[in-house]
Chains A and B, each alone.
Chain A
Amino acid sequence: MQDETNQHWRVIGASVRGTSHVATDRACEDAHAYLELENGILLLAVADGAGSASRAREGSQEAVKAIIATLGHSLHSAAPQSEAAWKTLLETGLRETRVALEELAKAEETTPESSAEGDSFDIAAEKGYHPRKKPTKNLLREFATTLLVAVITPEWLAVAQIGDGFVVSQQSDLTIHNLTIPEYGTYLNETFFLTQEDYLAHVQYAVVAKTEEVRGIALLTDGLELLAMDLANKVAHSPFFVPILEAATQTSFTQTDLETFLNSERVCSRTDDDKTLLLAVQHKYVK
């Protein structure tokens, strides 16, 4: 562990199981990871494994680990200095993360096939009515996951996202700004995954040359969308984020407190899905 006082950011994150996953004894399929480099660059990632994928938990965990590792490696030496260069870097990171998932799937192909699934109706795969592939023939699909990644340097804020969930930043005047919005297919239970063929066509990028100070940032998965986003206007619900980011500036507020909140009756009566919230605030605001 690095000495916190030398760091620029205080990061608090939690991924907790939704009540529907508790009821059906399914693991939490959300994951998050972060890393602050010695040069002060902060990397944050969250992922939501697809409910339809049998290895969703491993998919989301591998995705956040791989994107942080690959981008961390590149950013160790030098950070991009143009919007285009940032997009290239993020895209390369996504490609390499996808390769990491392919490796997982490949390793799996040597093990015996899982049993047939019976009568099922695959809403996402029916898009365009391609004949449905047998899951055993496309193991990569079993690791399907969304992925959201954010990088903050003193000069830049760069975000890439595939699928739903979203990212907001908070300026020093405490205002909340959407960097991305959730991307669905036409319908609610269809989104986009890093594991699909055309994943690069579904990446949202937000690259901002920082003219204003970024006080804090938050990444979350879709389990919190109904609570944290005004869906009619497609903007973040500020009364959700302001108090949470404020709490994150207090040393008394810990990961356990965040988990308690995400598991609270108040939250669970609104959403039964897994949910992840990853918060970062500048250390100079920490009290």
Chain B
Amino acid sequence: MSQLDIVEFASNPDPRCPCLLLLDTSGSMGGERIRELNEGLIVLQNELQQDPLASRRVEVAIVTFGNGGVQIVQDFVTAGQFSAPSLAADGYTPMGGAINTGLDLLRSRKDSYKSAGVQYYRPWVFLITDGDPTDSWQPAAQRVRQEVEGNGMAFFAVGVAGANMQTLGQIAHPSRPPIALQGLKFRELFIWLSQSQKRVSGSKPGDQVSLPPVGWGSV
């Protein structure tokens, strides 16, 4: 029996690692594309749930644009509770609206972390599209840049074949140019994302997180 057996520990919640997905569900994503995207989301769910630390720490949210306009399909939920949705493709590409909705969601999530005293890692935002925004995207792009420059998030833009990479380049911050998805490698993309998030969620102050090589796209 040690004198220190009576030492009590503080009960603090696990730190969180928010990950926001902005997904294009416009008409052009129909058929094989949306099927592969849905498969990819299932892979993301499975990969994160296999890792005990990541399932407690990574939080996923999904905002779609296209089918039904801009929709919050999934508000932030820990990966352990995340169930991959089945998305359907239809309609236009209100990308600007989705970015704004997503960033609002992220802001309110950060506020709840702060008020609950939950520590968190820098959020990751993933925009995936095969098109061209059909709404006003410039104000949203400016917001993305401001957030990135203020260190408010890491923003990744991924273009599926047919995406207007030039516009995506104006939305993404120059420090992290848009990535063109090779074919329909959604599965590889989401495996990469889950592996990266696992690494981030286990990282320590000052850690330099080495990301796995990107095998699914090119800058």
Task: Give residues 68-105 of B contacting A (CB, 8 Å).
Answer: none
**Is A138 among interface residues, defined by CB-CB distance under 8 A?**
no
**How would residues 108 to 125 of chain A score, 1 for a CB under 8 Å from any chain B CB and 0 otherwise?**
000000000111111111
In chain A, positions 159-186 with a C-beta closer than 8 Å to chain B are 163-164, 184-186
- The A254-287 residues at the B interface (CB cut-off 8 A) are 257-258, 260-261, 266, 270, 272-273
Q: B205 touching A184 by the CB < 8 A rule? A: yes
The verdict on B210 contacting chain A, using a C-beta distance below 8 Å, is yes
What is the chain A residue whose CB lies nearest that of B207? A51
* Residues of A with C-beta under 8 A to B12: 226, 229-232
- CB contacts (< 8 Å) of B15 on chain A: these are 188
- A144 interface residue, CB < 8 Å from B? yes
Binds A, one of B1-9, B39-47, B163-171, B178-186: B1-9
Q: Which of A50, A52, A231 is B10 in contact with, Cβ under 8 Å? A: A231
Specify which chain B residues have a CB less than 8 angstroms from the CB of A127 in the assembled complex.
151
* Other-chain contact of A232, B7, B116, B175 (Cβ < 8 Å): B116
With an 8 A cutoff between CB atoms, is B21 at the interface? no
Contact of B210 among A118, A237, A261 (CB under 8 A): A118
Inter-chain CA distance A124–B205, complex, in Å, is 9
Residue of B nearest to A248 (CB): B3
**Beta-carbon contact of B10 and A227 below 8 Å:** yes
Could you say which of A123, A127, A260 has the most chain B C-beta atoms within 10 Å of its C-beta? Answer: A123
Q: Mark interface residues in A229-242 (1 if CB within 8 Å of B CB, else 0).
A: 11111100101100
Q: Is the CB of B148 within 8 A of A228?
A: no
- Interface core residue of B117, B148, B213 (most chain A CB under 10 Å): B117
Task: Please determine whether B207 and A52 come into contact, CB atoms closer than 8 angstroms.
Answer: yes
Tell which of A51, A188, A247, A261 touches B119, judged by Cβ atoms closer than 8 Å: A188
Question: Which residues from 88 to 137 on chain B have a C-beta closer than 8 Å to any C-beta of chain A?
Answer: 116-122
Known: A188-B120, A228-B10, A230-B12. A261 touches B206 (CB 8 A): no
**Residue on B with the closest CB to A224?**
B9
CB distance from A216 to the nearest CB of B (A): 15
A121 and B119 within 8 A (CB): no
Q: Is B161's beta carbon under 8 Å from chain A?
A: no
Q: Is the CB of B7 within 8 A of A189?
A: no
Interface residues of chain A, those whose CB is within 8 Å of chain B, are 20, 48, 50-53, 117-129, 144, 163-164, 184-191, 193, 222, 226-234, 237, 239-240, 243-244, 246-247, 250, 253, 257-258, 260-261, 266, 270, 272-273
Q: Can you sample 6 A-B contacts with CB below 8 Å? A: A129-B173, A191-B205, A231-B118, A240-B9, A243-B6, A247-B4
Given contacts A128-B149, A129-B173, 8 further A-B contacts (CB under 8 A): A50-B205, A123-B209, A127-B151, A188-B120, A189-B200, A189-B204, A228-B10, A229-B10
Ranked nearest first, the 5 interchain pairs of A and B with the lowest CB-CB distance are A232-B117, A50-B206, A52-B208, A239-B8, A237-B10
